[in-house]
Structure 1
Amino acid sequence: MKRFFAVLLTMTMFETTAYAAEKRVTKTAIPLQQEVSFDGHTETMQCYNIDGYTYFRLRDVAQEVTDHIQNYIHLFNVSYDAKTNEIQLINWQNTFKREPYVPVEDAKPYVTGTKERQAIRSMMPVRFGGRDIVADKILHGYNIDGYTFYMLRELADLFDMHIEWCEEEKVIELVSMPWQDENGEPILYRKPAIYLYPEETTDVSVELEYDGALTTTYPAYNNGWQVTAQPDGTLINHADGREYSYLFWEGEGYGEMDFSQGFVVKGEDTVAFLQEKLAAMGMTPKEYNEFIVYWLPYMQNNAYNLISFQWENYDASAKLHITPEPDYMLRVFMAFKSLEQPVSVPEQELPTLTREGFTVLEWGGAEVR
């Protein structure tokens, strides 16, 4: 798709009669059926045009985001609190958990029909992450047929979603934002170090299939590493004849970091935590000491760290192909996020490396901001 332009869109929410007490600013709502792409999946959605802007029901969009958006940090759930007469928005930013949309039981699809409707400016209170969102200043919405419709552009800002307009195909695109740092740059996969422990002296080929861009390798990665490995882990690189302790790489990537389970640890407790967990996963003192020495400066001065070890998602974004095939391999990739205050997450279960036969260990990590 070409010629993308930013657009203001809007979305709907909940059935309510609260608009009777609101300031009755009224507009004409013109029904539309608009194609919207969610990470490449296109749906024709019911919506309205008000003063040149397009408005959608929030619940409809929440369902499509849950069904089709690839990055789970954008998932959000919505609810209406009848006691306080307010809308509540919940997503990963509030809980560090996946928050898929839960449909209202027996809810019927909304159909705009063909007739114009009266749209009444909504002043419905909205809470997001425990704070009030100022209606009519941060979120602009209208009540139509007892439902509240809000601007997608403003909601996208809350949920870090990206919106584009394809003028050529007349399609609105809702696109996942990749995991990135505070400057919008790719996350750096730091210090993955690969240790090889064969039972006897063995020539080993190691190839990395990586979704991102390699920034540093040692020894130099020339479409793979060819080494002779000793049982004590000593490596002789065939390209230069030099001795190495492990194979090292770093790269820029946009892989998904899953914080739905993990550990919340005070910065001052980082050493004790890593010593305990890394040893429990089968790392030797030499291996986990090298891990801790590298990561401690990034973590110890934070008030808290949300720590989650990545498994299937890391393997998917950075595949290792090793010949001969190892008998056992453990890839310890730690993602962490600095916190000012602790949060509650389910504790993560961790595997243990079996050190029998040809064993491979890799460790690395990423800081997510």
Structure 2
Amino acid sequence: MKVFALCMAAVFLIGNTVYAAEKTEIKEKTAIPVHQTVVWDGTETKMPGYNIDGYAYFRLRDVAKMVSAYAADEKSYFDLDYQKETNTISIVTGKGKYMDPAREKVFDVGTEEKKAFLADTTVVVDRLNGLTDKGIGEGYVIDGYNFYKLGRIVGALGMQLNWCKEEN
């Protein structure tokens, strides 16, 4: 009887250990560097980002810089605020042009493929009317930076994005 009880306890502990390992497994993807041509209200520019599973991902701060530089409608401008305590990035609308704290540094993705890990950061959109939206979808962390799909970012901000298949 003691042997049976010990065997059952061992099976229970091994089963829970395997389940815990599966639950905390980090999903890794391959991120391929891209310099995507993006046209902002008629102005063409190249944005550094990554292709993950066929989708282009960009840093929020790069999108904020591009919107501030090229968007014709000032209502499109937004700022970013990170709350370390809650690991939350707030996209704050209605604050004027984005002022990048690292404006002296030029960000580039390089040419090497990188490992991308699913981000655990929450991103919220704070609107002037006080509503908070959670809706930019999953992001990935690459070299310590968070990347999100361009379409989801601009969509959450009420902007439109059109894909030109002929010009990629």
1:70 aligns to 2:72 (yes or no):
yes
1:111 aligns to 2:112 (yes or no):
no
- Matching of residues 325-364 of structure 1 within 5 Å: none
Aligned-partner Cα distance in 2 for 1:131–1:112: 31
Partner of 2:44, secondary structure, is strand
- Give the TM-score normalised by the residue count of structure 2: 0.76
1:154 aligns to 2:158 (yes or no):
no
The CA deviation string for residues 262-300 of structure 1, in whole angstroms up to 9 with x for no partner, is xxxxxxxxxxxxxxxxxxxxxxxxxxxxxxxxxxxxxxx
* Partner in structure 1 of residue 124 of structure 2: 127
Q: Is the 8 A contact 1:74 1:159 kept in 2?
A: yes
Q: Percent identity?
A: 38
- Matching of residues 166-181 of structure 1 within 5 Å: 166-170=164-168
Q: Which amino acid aligns with 1:99?
A: G
Aligned-partner Cα distance in 1 for 2:157–2:120: 21
Superposed displacement of residue 42, structure 1: 0.7
Shift in alpha-carbon separation, 1:158–1:70, aligned structure 2, 3 A = same
How many residue pairs are counted as aligned between the two chains? Answer: 141
Aligned-partner Cα distance in 1 for 2:37–2:89: 26
Shift in alpha-carbon separation, 1:106–1:62, aligned structure 2, 3 A = closer
Shift in alpha-carbon separation, 1:47–1:83, aligned structure 2, 3 A = same
Shift in alpha-carbon separation, 1:164–1:128, aligned structure 2, 3 A = same
Shift in alpha-carbon separation, 1:132–1:161, aligned structure 2, 3 A = closer
User: Gaps spanning 5+ residues in structure 2: where?
Assistant: 1-23
Q: Which amino acid aligns with 1:139?
A: G
Higher helix share: 2
Aligned-partner Cα distance in 2 for 1:85–1:107: 25
Q: Which has the larger radius of gyration?
A: 1
Aligned-partner Cα distance in 1 for 2:25–2:159: 30
Q: Is the 8 A contact 1:23 1:121 kept in 2?
A: no
Q: Is the 8 A contact 1:90 1:99 kept in 2?
A: no
Aligned-partner Cα distance in 2 for 1:132–1:82: 19
Q: Is the 8 A contact 1:29 1:48 kept in 2?
A: yes
Which of 40, 43, 46 is equivalent to 2:42?
40
Aligned-partner Cα distance in 2 for 1:133–1:160: 13
Aligned-partner Cα distance in 2 for 1:88–1:99: 15
The CA deviation string for residues 160-190 of structure 1, in whole angstroms up to 9 with x for no partner, is 11111122222xxxxxxxxxxxxxxxxxxxx
Aligned-partner Cα distance in 2 for 1:23–1:101: 36
Q: Is the 8 A contact 2:125 2:157 kept in 1?
A: no
Partner of 2:161, secondary structure, is strand
Q: Is the 8 A contact 2:155 2:161 kept in 1?
A: no
Which of 96, 99, 102 is equivalent to 2:99?
102
The CA deviation string for residues 67-86 of structure 1, in whole angstroms up to 9 with x for no partner, is 11001121111121223321
* Partner in structure 2 of residue 141 of structure 1: 139
Partner of 1:43, secondary structure, is strand
Runs of at least 4 residues off by over 6 Å? none
Superposed displacement of residue 107, structure 1: 5.0
Higher strand share: 1
Superposed displacement of residue 127, structure 1: 2.6
Superposed displacement of residue 106, structure 1: 5.3
Aligned-partner Cα distance in 1 for 2:38–2:167: 11
- Give the TM-score normalised by the residue count of structure 1: 0.36
Aligned-partner Cα distance in 1 for 2:102–2:46: 23
Shift in alpha-carbon separation, 1:131–1:107, aligned structure 2, 3 A = farther
Aligned-partner Cα distance in 2 for 1:164–1:79: 27
Partner of 1:66, secondary structure, is helix
Partner of 2:75, secondary structure, is helix
Q: Which amino acid aligns with 1:147?
A: Y
* Partner in structure 2 of residue 165 of structure 1: 163
**RMSD between aligned residues:** 2.0
User: Gaps spanning 5+ residues in structure 1: where?
Assistant: 1-21, 93-97, 171-369
Aligned-partner Cα distance in 2 for 1:154–1:164: 12
The CA deviation string for residues 310-367 of structure 1, in whole angstroms up to 9 with x for no partner, is xxxxxxxxxxxxxxxxxxxxxxxxxxxxxxxxxxxxxxxxxxxxxxxxxxxxxxxxxx
